[in-house]
Amino acid sequence: MPRPAGPPPRAPGAHGTPQAPPSPPGAPARPSHAPLTRPAVAQWLRTPRPAAAPGVWRFGHKERPQEEPELVPARQLFSGAFIAYLCGWLVWSLLWNGYLEGWWIFVDEWWLLPMLWLVPEDWRSATSSYVELYVAATYLYNALVLALLAHAFGRVGNWREVWQRYGVPLWPLFVLLPGVWREMPRTSWLTWVSNVYYVLLVVAVVAAVGRAGTWPAVRRRLDARGGGAAPPPEPESDPVEWPEIHRAGLTEAAAALGEATRAGTLGDVDYARIRRAWQGVHARPDRLAAFSDTVRRLGPAACAHPSGLRDLPVRTATHDLATGQVRIGTAVDDARNPYARRTTGVALEPALLGTSLLAVGPSGSGKSVRLVRPVVESLCLLALANRAAVVAVTAQGSAVAPDDAFDLVVSVGRPDATHDLDLYGGADDPDEAARTLAEALVGDLAATLPGGDSRRAATALAQLIGPYRRVHGHFPGVPDLRELLGGAPAALDGLRTALRDAGEASQLRELDARERQSARGDDIGVLLSERIAFLDRPAFTDFFRTDGGGRRFSLRAIEHPLRVRVDLPERGHAEASRIIARLVLAQFTDAALTRDDRSLFACLVLDDASYTVTADCVRSVQRLRTANAGVVFALRSLEDVPEPLRGPLLGAVGCRMAFAGLAPWDGNRFADTWGTEWVQTRDVTNRQIISDEPLTKALHMMRRLVTGRAATAEAVTVREVERARWSASDLAHAVPAGHAVLSLTSVGGEHAPPLLVDLRT
């Protein structure tokens, strides 16, 4: 395990005690260019995470209906509400002004009967001392009747839907109040009633303004940040109390973790890491005692990552380590998105990245900033939680994360690099080493080679590196391999003599076969020699050493929770960078498929996969799903992939992402991959109405004079047709800047249709 690339541990203080860190343990440093996205752990743990479709941000997710409800048209809604209001006003006016008195034979104002039954008769006298109470009761009763009328006609007029859709409050009720109220002297009880009315009116106005300004969304966001007022769950089900560990009998360990969670010294990375260790205890019960002792002694720092770090210095994305998700955007409220997915968060996780992801978009479309960087950051956090291993390949100077976020940074071609890249990927078998090296050297030209693949190149390399290793005990370095491939007499004669002296007859036959093939005009060794020359440059003198010098990094180390970044010298050595990228890809797929322990999710992220995809790579990517591993490819265009491999690559990956600004020919590939769906279309035909009746003719003429259009009749035809989910033209011209179209597939086989995603929210 290589040493961390981050800063060294803090030196002890003057009295031998460690110096206090500047922030609580587990808390990331507050970034200067991005918001602090680490949540309060207690509230974070108690937030529900319901099961959802692939790619849904589950943190606090609320299910939406599958189908969009049928809404009443706005004109019909407002007209019905206004008519109901007029009817209610009419009924109230008739009641108040006494136009309905004759309908009841026993009492003039029949609608006052319920109140008269409750009020004593002596209160009604003008000389009674209770006359003011009687008047107050009368008006309170009138207000109750008015409220009942408003409720009844409000339901008839569907005022509630008007409020929910447009935030329009009920019409002011003062127009319904009798004029005598406004003309009466301001007695104490009338002033009190008026004040109550004005308070209600102000509340209605504030509610309308708040709904127009989306105040409810602001309140929900503030509640999410500051901690809601919801009561905590029962201790038996409260994740803050670690009930699983309690039920296992580890009371002291659970109490220590619960106290650290409530105090805020246990971070979300600590929670995910300790949960991972607890899952390991379930798999191997013999570790139970060691787990309990470690948690009691170290608390939230238990089961730490080998680097000793418990968080990243800076977070630029929103993460949920309880589910392993990272939020990358929001599904747009667009008709092309399924109704159930609109306005929901979109997230990626290992269950999706395990099917590999292909992202295509021009420079500046946001692939690195809005996709690669959040994904790498999430995988680094999961690595600190001992749940993943990540290898990010990027160009020097365009790092997807700071050096402190990685355990190891391999800067190829830089003199200050601390580690070298193993040219042969830690392989011991010459045939295996030759196969991965051949993919790196000529994999992009496999379709043009004799035989249509790189097997001849692998055979040629094996015929040289096998004998060399038998003599020298290690594989040849770049200079020696270049001489052997170029047929240098001194190198070949020296190797033959050493083999003859060692009695290696089988290796001599391999070397002789290579010499015979080199005499052919179409020998692959010439091309291999030209390609290896790109690595035999002065800038790479101290790299790719095989003699045991230096500190080499092998992709076989992904069995550990490593965070590695490989920086490529694209500015001065573009072709060498492509060879190294293909080498890392070939070694990663080989190492991921041959791992003994596949409990860690391993992911390779290629920030620029141009001229990196090979035929063998496409076949290997399909097999990574069963190996708990995946690859993220970021391309500027599918033109950077050989023509025969463009379709197979789109079919091999489970997640596909098309960014804004995609070329139409690239969009055509995505459109063919996403296929078609059945949609309902409505064809409306207008037919002019011709009538011979004089009255009808007059009405039609009047309508034409008023509207300027002839009287017509509409014929509506509804059909089910098959259309492309996203056409090439839509992908090229209808995707706004900062957006992308994303389709997802989980390792379990669940699918999510192409979604238009706003990557800025």
Task: Give tens-digit pLDDT for 557-578.
Answer: 999 999 999 999 988 899 999 9
- Coil/strand/helix, residue 696: helix
Q: What is residue 233's predicted lDDT score, i.e. its pLDDT?
A: 72
Backbone torsions φ then ψ of 315, nearest 5 degrees: -120, 130
Q: Which two tokens stand for residue 350?
A: 């290992």
More reliable by pLDDT, 722 or 270: 270
Average pLDDT over residues 418-433: 90
Highest averaged pLDDT of the listed ranges 258-262, 355-359, 405-409, 502-506? 355-359
Q: How far is CA 678 from CA 675, 751, 757, in A?
A: 11, 17, 22
Q: From CA 360, how far away is CA 96, in angstroms rounded?
A: 71
Residue 32 has pLDDT above 50, yes or no: no
Residue type, 224: A
Q: From CA 554, how far away is CA 1, in angstroms rounded?
A: 10
Task: Give tens-digit pLDDT for 468-500.
Answer: 999 998 999 999 999 999 888 899 999 999 999
Angle between helix 455-472 and helix 505-518 axes, rounded to 10 deg:
140
Single out the residue of 601, 724, 726 nearest to residue 657, CA to CA: 726
CA 320 from centre of chain = 10
Task: Give tens-digit pLDDT for 152-172.
Answer: 888 888 888 877 777 655 454
Q: What is residue 180's predicted lDDT score, i.e. its pLDDT?
A: 44
pLDDT band, residue 413 (cuts 50/70/90):
confident
Single out the residue of 554, 559, 267 nearest to residue 408, CA to CA: 554
Q: What is residue 183's predicted lDDT score, i.e. its pLDDT?
A: 46
Q: Which two tokens stand for residue 36?
A: 């602090």
Q: What is residue 249's predicted lDDT score, i.e. its pLDDT?
A: 87
Beta bridge partners of 713: 687
Task: Give tens-digit pLDDT for 180-222.
Answer: 444 445 455 556 666 676 676 667 667 666 655 556 555 555 5
The widest CA-to-CA distance across the chain, in whole angstroms, is: 138
Which DSSP letter does residue 128 get? -
Angle between helix 524-532 and helix 455-472 axes, rounded to 10 deg:
70
Instruction: Please provide the average confidence, as pLDDT, over all residues in the chain.
Output: 82
CA 151 from centre of chain = 45
Residue 229 has pLDDT above 80, yes or no: no
Opening angle at CA 637, ends 636 and 642, nearest 5: 125
Residue 375 has pLDDT above 90, yes or no: yes
pLDDT band, residue 231 (cuts 50/70/90):
low
Contact predicate 252/33, CB 8 Å: no
Task: Give tens-digit pLDDT for 596-651.
Answer: 889 999 999 999 999 999 999 999 999 999 999 999 999 999 999 999 899 999 99
Highest averaged pLDDT of the listed ranges 167-171, 362-366, 692-696? 362-366
Contact predicate 612/606, CB 8 Å: yes
Single out the residue of 426, 420, 416 nearest to residue 545, CA to CA: 420
pTM: 0.79
Which DSSP letter does residue 34 get? S
Q: What is residue 686's predicted lDDT score, i.e. its pLDDT?
A: 78
Residue 671 has pLDDT above 60, yes or no: yes
Q: Which of 156-170, 235-249, 571-585, 685-699 shows the lowest mean pLDDT across its residues?
A: 156-170
Which DSSP letter does residue 686 get? E
- Coil/strand/helix, residue 239: helix
Q: From CA 658, how far away is CA 670, in angstroms rounded?
A: 8
Q: From CA 562, how far away is CA 581, in angstroms rounded?
A: 19
Q: Are strands 325-331 and 552-553 parallel, antiparallel or unpaired?
A: unpaired
Residue 76 has pLDDT above 70, yes or no: yes
Average pLDDT over residues 728-742: 95
Contact predicate 471/495, CB 8 Å: yes
Average pLDDT over residues 107-130: 57
Q: What is residue 113's predicted lDDT score, i.e. its pLDDT?
A: 55
pLDDT band, residue 453 (cuts 50/70/90):
low
Q: Which of 152-161, 361-370, 426-435 shows the lowest mean pLDDT across its residues?
A: 152-161
Sketch out the chain's domains with CATH numbers.
74-185 (no CATH), 233-304 (no CATH), 345-419+551-671 (3.40.50.300), 430-540 (no CATH), 678-724 (no CATH)
Task: Give tens-digit pLDDT for 507-530.
Answer: 999 999 998 988 887 888 889 999
What is the sign of the dihedral through the CA atoms of 567, 633, 334 and 669?
positive
Q: What is the DSSP string of 355-423?
A: T-EEEE--TTSSHIIIIIHHHHHHHHHHHHTTSEEEEEEEETT--SS-GGG-SEEEETT-TT-S-EE-T
Q: What is residue 36's predicted lDDT score, i.e. its pLDDT?
A: 40
Length of the chain: 761
Q: What is the DSSP string of 44-90?
A: HHHS-----STTB--TT-----SSPPPPPPHHHHHHHHHHHHHHHHH
Single out the residue of 356, 353, 283, 272 nearest to residue 312, CA to CA: 272
Task: Give tens-digit pLDDT for 39-69.
Answer: 578 889 999 999 999 999 999 999 988 887 7
Beta bridge partners of 682: 718
Q: From CA 564, how far away is CA 605, in angstroms rounded?
A: 10
Q: Are strands 655-659 and 739-745 parallel, antiparallel or unpaired?
A: antiparallel
Torsion from C-alpha of 618, 620, 626, 628, nearest 10 degrees: -90
Q: Are strands 629-635 and 601-606 parallel, antiparallel or unpaired?
A: parallel
Contact predicate 477/547, CB 8 Å: yes
Residue 34 has pLDDT above 60, yes or no: no
H and E: helices and strands count for the chain: 27, 16
Share of the chain above pLDDT 90, in %: 47
Task: Give tens-digit pLDDT for 249-308.
Answer: 888 999 999 999 988 889 999 999 999 999 989 888 888 999 999 999 999 999 999 999
